[in-house]
Each structure stands twice: as C-alpha cells, then as structure tokens.
Structure 1
Amino acid sequence: MGERLQSKKSFVCSFVQCKAAFSKSWKLQAHLCKHTGLKPFSCDNCDKSFCTRYQLTRHELTHSGEKPHKCVVEGCSEAFVTNASLKNHMSRFHNKEKRYKCNHQGCEKDFNKRNRLAAHIFVHTKALPFHCKISGCTKEFPSHGKLKHHEKMHNGYPCEEEACLFKGNTWTEYLKHRKAHKVKLPCAQCKKQFGNAWFLNLHIRHVHSGEKRMFLCPKDGCDKKFSGRFHLESHVLGFHEGLKAFTCAVAGCEKSFAMKESLWRHGIVHEPSKKLKKPLKEANKLAAKFAKTNLNK
C-alpha cells in the first residue's frame, strides 16, 4: 500500500515565537483567536461568539432544533446535532465496543470510558470521585477534566523565555507576564509600533504600499465595487436580496439595514454621544471583521 500523502501546512501563524502551521486557512483563523482574543462570529439568538463560521453554524442548530447527522444503520431513526454525537451513538449502540456499566440499583446507564462512569456515579453517591494526588491537597472534583485543570495549578505555568524564572499560578497570570517579553516591531516609514509581524505587514499594505483591493459585486449586471467584504455583503443582502432585518427603533425613523453593525452606526445620527461610548463588544466585532477581511486577501 502506498503511503498517505500529508497536506502541506502552508498557512503559518505570524505571531512572534509562535510556530503553529495549518493546512487550511480557516484553521489558521481559528488559531489566531488564541492570540487576539477576538471571536468574529456571533450568534443572533444568544450572546455566544465563535472563532469560525463552522462553530457558529453548528451552535445555531441548538436553537433551530435541526439534526442533520442521521444514523445510517437500517431501522435506526436517530439523528443528532453534531457528528461527534452521531459517532458516540454508533459506538454505543451499533459497534458494540466495551462498555462500563453503572452498578447502582435501578440504573441501566453505561459508558465507553471509565472516567465517564466515575463522574456519573456522583449522581448516585454525591461523593466527588476524582481526588487531587498532590501531597497536602485535599480537593475533589466531579470530572476528570476538572481534576487535570486543577493539577496544572500545582505545576504552575513557567515562562519559556531563557533565563526568566517567572512561574504563573494561573494561565491568566502567565499571559500577563508574557506581554513583558514581547518586542514591539516598528514601521520603518512612520515609526509606529506593532505587537507582531502580522499587524505590521497589514499596516504597511494599507497605509504605505498604496495598494487597495476592491471587491466586485458578484450579481450579473451590477458593476459596484467595495473596499471591504463587510460593505459588499451589506450591498448584496440589502440591495439585491432585499434583506434588511435590522430596523431603527427611533420614532419617525423608518430606516432599515442588512447588517447589525450598520444599524449601530446609524444610531449615532440620533445620539451623537454614542460615538464616544462605543461598546467594547461591538468594537471587538468590527475589529475582528476587519482582521478577517484582510487575512483572506
């Protein structure tokens, strides 16, 4: 048999000291969320946000009730929201893999992993099954995952910089400390400084290179051009498809918009003070959308 060819990881993270590389652009975009903290895909039905459109689409199924992953075994009508749930169903009911059964009287549940059974037993006994094994620590936890997270706190998070003896008690402490080692990258033309090469290159491209990529409307007969994907999407939804779901609530104003951000911007017309009190969440959304637009260029 021939060896399976591995896909070339051509999408490389440009953050300083990060060596991550990916075979697909959307995987790189999801990875960048770890550095920027931005989650550009927000659910309209709740306050959750996600790094990729796939994660958002999968989440939205929990609101719609749709279950696209159907069991293919003849005679089985089960369907699931995620592919992971379908695989769990296949292994539990059709593939007959080793099961760990609950011995509590009247309980017929079984599990494919011993740790899951131990976590389930807590329902019956109310005794936390996972104990910290570090000497002097008496903490207990309901799941193996929470135990592992706790054990990391004992080990701490040591700084990876050479000759630096810092060790954070939490991941948040470690991230705050790591900023002290970051070297600002200056722009050679205007001396403005940036935290990483990706933002520096983005700055050079849009401020000093003179390049300006235009996005053409894909609709036949329309020759409109836009400087960003956001404006293009707003044009297609509002002008061509007539989808303007976001209406101004101010009495006497009948304006409506295709994008939520456009409605927020319009609100400044009625309340100019909003311009100085821009909500952080909305600012993050706009920044993320801008970053996503330029990442795909």
Structure 2
Amino acid sequence: MSDKPHSCEVCGYPFARKSNLLSHMTTHTGEKPHICEVCGSSFARKSYLVSHMKTHTGEKPYSCEVCGSSSAQKSTLLIHMKIHTGEKPHSCEVCGSSFALKSNLMTHMKTHTGDKPHSCEVCGSSFASKSTLLRHMKTHTGEKPHSCDVCVSSFAQKSTLLRHIKTHTGEKPHSCKVCGSSFAEKSTLLHHMKTHTGDKPHSCEVCGSSFAWKSTLLHHMNTHTGHKPHSCDVCGSSFAQKSTLLTHMRTHTGDKPHSCDVCGSSFAQKSTLLTHMRTHTGEKPHSCKVCGSSFAQKIHLLRHMKTHTGHKPHFCEICGSSFAQKSNLYKHMKTHKGEKPHSCEVCGSSFTWKSNLMTHIKIHTGDKPLSCEVCSSSFALKSTLLTHIKTHTGEKPHVW
C-alpha cells in the first residue's frame, strides 16, 4: 500500500493524510475559511493565519544566532540565514545568475521573457513584480511612510531610507580595488568602475555619442529634443535634468553646502568647489595646443582660443567695437554709460570694473606682491613690473 494514499483529483498530487489533502484542495477552490479578526484578511490554512497574527502582536520568536535579527516566522529566519551563508541555490538557466530565493529567481526570469503582468491603473505603466508596482503606486499617492530619525526626511521606500541613513553615518562599505575610492552603495561603485574600464555601452542614435550609463544617455537625448520637463516654481526656468533644477534652486535659497577647507569659501555646487580648489593648488589641467598656455577651467581655455582665431562675435551697437567674449562687451558698455559701481571705501574713488578697484586698493595698503627677478624691486601691478623689466633688457618698443 502507498505511503501517500490520498491523491488530489485535480492535479494528482498525493498526500499521506486526508487532512493535508483537504487543506491542499483550497488552492484549487480558492477557499480561504480562516479569517483574521483584527484586519479581516483571510487564509486557506490555519497555520497561515497563526503566522499572520504575529504581524499584529509584533511577536518575533525566531532569532538569528549570527546578527541577532528576529523574525515572526521560522521560514523567514531560514531565508535570512542565507545572507550570512551566501547560499544561492536557485540559478537562472538563461544567464547563470543565482538567487537565495526561488521567488526572486521567478521575478528575475521576467527580465528575459519581458513579462510584465502587473499594471498601474493610474498611468498604465507595467511591472514584472507586484512589489515593484506597489512601490510605483507611492509616486501617485505621495505616500512616504519611512522617516529618518535624524533629520525627519521621509521616503516612499525603506531601501531609500537605509541609503539615506548612510549620509548621516558616513558609512561607505563598498571600495574600489583600483583607486581605493569608497561608496555608500554597491550600485554607485559599479557605476564608478566604468571610469576605469572606459566602458560606454549606451550610444545616442542621433549623434553617436556614447555613455557609461543609460540614465546619462536619456539626459543627453534632451539636448536633441529640447525637452525640459523640470520647472522652477519660483522663476519659471525649465531644465532638462532634475539635478540641474535642484542646483538652480540654490540661487533662490542661497544654500551653499560645499565649503573650502583651505579658505572657508562656500559654493552651491561641488563642481564649483573643485574648480575653486585649483586657486590653492595652482593646478591648470587645460592647455592651449597653439601657445601652451594652461588654464584652471576649460571655459577659460575656450575663451583664450579666440585670441588665436581672432573671432569676435560680440559687437557694441554704439561704437561698433567687437569682442571675443560677451562679458567683455558688457564691461565695455559701461564706458558709454559712465557707470562706475565699484567704490573705494578709503578715498571714495569709483571704478567701472572691480579689477580696477582691487588694483587701486594697493595704493592704500602698499601691497606690492610682484617682484623683479633681476633686482628684487617690487610692484603693485603686473603692467608696471613688465615696464620695469625693459630697463634691464634695454628694450625700447615706443620710438617717437
């Protein structure tokens, strides 16, 4: 006689006990006779109801001997233990990826089949897993149930909260084996690694530019379409990228979170701080291929290049003078307007340009930072030093 004499008439699965068969039949009939008195949820088996009740009582009797985490169900503890053992028994037959849970493998398989059975009723977006759909729904409801105990910021997802917490703790457990840089998130490390490998698998179909990350490609596409979906609520300016909008908002709030460790100057953008640091280090990585002059910023190099090409696209409508840079045109316009907004606090003299005021100030301070390498004479202005140098070289450029 068989050890499992009780067979399911629907699927043929055998059971040793009739009670187990009866419980199994509910999977076919959809019957859920066991109801939670607290929230009304119903379950096919009583054991499922018992486990569910622990979500209301907060009871977590199963503890991890490695890290002390506690779980309401023994099965959840067994799943958790795989984090410590690294066990991933469920492998994908398509790409070889392995997973600790069979459910994760099943979800992963949808990336190969393209199956997205879970659809959003609000916007129609579809997702491979129900959990991803539930997370997505929070973008419509605005629900942010996960709050930070340090700064009270709230987040839609717990995983985002955990990432945020690292901004307070400074924890960066993921290190680059090439350069030693450390990161709070593994995904950020993987992005960083492309700076070493030079891998740029995402190409623009319009201009052929390639990018390391798909997100960067999507941002780049806005330069072709002119799409600027992110608008400033204060002044109405629109931007292609949300990060650019956030940076722009600091022009309204005055927020300058990036400070120089050397002189204490603060900046709205980290990139501006990094550029500023070159004033202390003297670094000038951008060199002119024509004359060899080097500059701290690429934009300064581009301006300089116009001195070689002679290109002066900016014209004065009053006198016709032309300039290589628009900023120089603005400065020139002050000579027509007679505008002198920069005043000396010592003697009251006013100047059209701030640079002239700074030069004038040296008359009062006696500051002469420029020295002659031949005779050690010191001067306040570079132009005066250059004129003085000619007394040593014998150069007489001005012949009358």
User: Above 0.5 in TM-score?
Assistant: no
Question: Which structure is larger by alpha-carbon Rg, 1 or 2?
Answer: 2
Q: TM-score range by the shorter chain?
A: 0.3 to 0.5
Highest relative contact order (Cα 8 Å, sep 6+), 1 or 2? 1
